[in-house]
């Protein structure tokens, strides 16, 4: 196989650190579902899932049946997979056949699940998602009693695996009033289950932010995405943690991925010349330039034109000119002895310098999640210690 223009390394020890930190926060008895939608937030499902399993994770959440299929192809037999989003009706038999758990957010879907389960002679494992205030997907309160009745009557076909909801914006403390209202409504649904004497096996509503910060949202399981990859869900949540631990700097979460490429070519540019397309960058003095073999089609955001930085020989080299579709240039005038083939760090550490993901997001207005999830699946990922 030929060499790709960049590569991503994933640190097993950093991942372990993150799960240790999250487990310490959420406490014993709370199961972690590792959220690996969007190709594991760009980390790569195929590489990330086995790494998480090594850390004791045995439950994964995805947004679609398409992603579930990918997890299924790499996970161990004992691992559970849960689809939180799109599962087309025609794929429900596939999900039931493979024991894949899925969200049900309207009554009609329950009828189909039962029919499929009966036909295949295998239970459908469902999580009833209820509407509590995020107003995306979720069963409305009006349909709830009917749903629990149906689940009770059809327990031989449908396993009431979970009762869940999604909190809309637990990352921001200013939204806490909204989260509180959602938690209250969720508890009302639970109360109805109790009254009707049929409880779900797992209650779960928290994603990273709520799981790290708000105890009353943890219940039996938390759905952890961004935090497991080593990112704080928001400055607010990090602040709450520091306040709780009475520390000023502790991080506890470590970025697990490093993204590297290497130098494709070197050139000298005379003062007054323009670099790359158009007139975006004009050399004000004679410069030494390195050409790198990737661009916006390879996940390096175009918004970093004239703004980004990479590491070469442990020193920061600023992007000069526009990020092209599959090339960009950096200024190396201040770095001696640079050669073609030298390692270039796009995200991560090299000697005493670091390029964090946040440096991308600061410059481009991209969300951390957005930047990561856009990393093309074609970039090779590799687990390292
Ligand atoms: C993406 C997602 C999560 C994980 O969110 P993070 O903030 O990344 O932890 C949890 N639940 C649902 C329904 C999601 O879509």
Look at residue 367 in the predicted model and tell me its pLDDT.
Answer: 80
Which among 41, 85, 223 is the best mutation to test ligand 1's pocket, defined by most ligand atoms within 8 Å of the CB? 223
Q: What are the tokens at 142?
A: 């009006």
Residues 6+ apart with CB under 8 A from 197: none
Start-to-end C-alpha separation, the chain = 24
Q: Are 219 and 206 in contact (CB under 8 A)?
A: yes
55 CA to centre of ligand 1 in angstroms = 20
Look at residue 368 in the predicted model and tell me its pLDDT.
Answer: 82
pTM: 0.96
The DSSP bridge partners found for residue 345 are 260, 311
**Each residue of 209-247: pLDDT tens digit?**
999 999 999 999 999 999 999 999 999 999 999 999 888
Q: How far apart are CA 355 and CA 340, in angstroms?
A: 21
- The residue-averaged pLDDT of 276-294 equals 96
Look at residue 1 in the predicted model and tell me its pLDDT.
Answer: 86
Which among 35, 41, 133 is the best mutation to test ligand 1's pocket, defined by most ligand atoms within 8 Å of the CB? 35
Q: How far apart are CA 171 and CA 153, in angstroms?
A: 39
**Each residue of 344-358: pLDDT tens digit?**
999 999 999 999 998
- The residue-averaged pLDDT of 27-40 equals 96
Residues 6+ apart with CB under 8 A from 138: 105, 129, 130, 131, 132, 165, 166
- Strands 328-331, 287-292: pairing is antiparallel
Residues with CB under 6 A from ligand 1: 35, 37, 84, 166, 207-209, 223-227, 233
**Is the pLDDT assigned to residue 168 strictly greater than 90?**
no
- The residue-averaged pLDDT of 264-284 equals 96
Residue whose CA is at the smallest distance from ligand 1 atom 6: 225
**Closest-lying ligand 1 atom to the alpha carbon of residue 35:** 4
Look at residue 361 in the predicted model and tell me its pLDDT.
Answer: 81
């Amino acid at each position: 196989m030929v060499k790709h223009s960049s590569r991503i390394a994933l640190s097993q020890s950093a991942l372990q650190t993150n799960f240790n930190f999250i487990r310490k926060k959420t406490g014993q008895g709370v199961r972690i579902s590792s959220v690996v939608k969007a190709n594991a937030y760009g980390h790569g499902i195929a590489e990330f899932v086995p790494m998480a399993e090594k850390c004791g994770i045995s439950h994964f959440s995805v947004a679609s049946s398409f992603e579930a299929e990918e997890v299924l192809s790499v996970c161990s037999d004992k691992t559970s997979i849960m689809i939180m989003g799109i599962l087309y009706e025609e794929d429900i038999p596939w999900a039931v056949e493979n024991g894949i758990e899925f969200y049900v957010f309207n009554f009609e879907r329950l009828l189909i699940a039962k029919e499929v389960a009966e036909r295949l002679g295998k239970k459908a494992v469902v999580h009833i998602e209820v509407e509590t205030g995020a107003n995306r997907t979720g069963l409305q309160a009006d349909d709830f009693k009917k749903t629990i009745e149906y689940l009770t009557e059809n327990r031989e076909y449908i396993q009431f695996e979970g009762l869940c909801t999604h909190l809309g914006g637990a990352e921001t403390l200013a939204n806490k009033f909204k989260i509180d209202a959602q938690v209250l409504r969720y508890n009302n649904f639970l109360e109805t289950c109790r009254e009707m004497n049929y409880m779900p096996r797992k209650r779960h509503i928290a994603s990273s932010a709520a799981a790290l910060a708000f105890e009353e949202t943890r219940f039996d399981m938390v759905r952890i995405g961004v935090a497991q990859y080593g990112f704080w869900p928001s400055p607010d949540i990090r602040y709450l943690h520091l306040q709780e631990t009475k520390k000023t700097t502790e991080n506890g979460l470590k970025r697990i991925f490093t993204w590297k490429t290497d130098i494709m070519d070197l050139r000298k540019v005379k003062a007054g010349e323009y670099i790359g397309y158009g007139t975006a960058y004009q050399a004000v003095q004679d410069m030494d330039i390195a050409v790198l073999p990737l661009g916006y089609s390879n996940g390096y955001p175009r918004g970093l034109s004239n703004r980004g930085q990479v590491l070469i020989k442990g020193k920061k080299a600023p992007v000069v000119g526009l990020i092209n579709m599959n090339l960009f240039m950096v200024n190396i005038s201040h770095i001696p002895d640079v050669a073609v083939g030298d390692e270039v760090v796009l995200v991560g550490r090299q000697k005493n310098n670091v390029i964090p993901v946040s440096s991308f997001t600061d410059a481009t207005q991209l969300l951390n999640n957005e930047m990561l999830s856009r990393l093309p699946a074609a970039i090779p990922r590799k687990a390292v210690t």
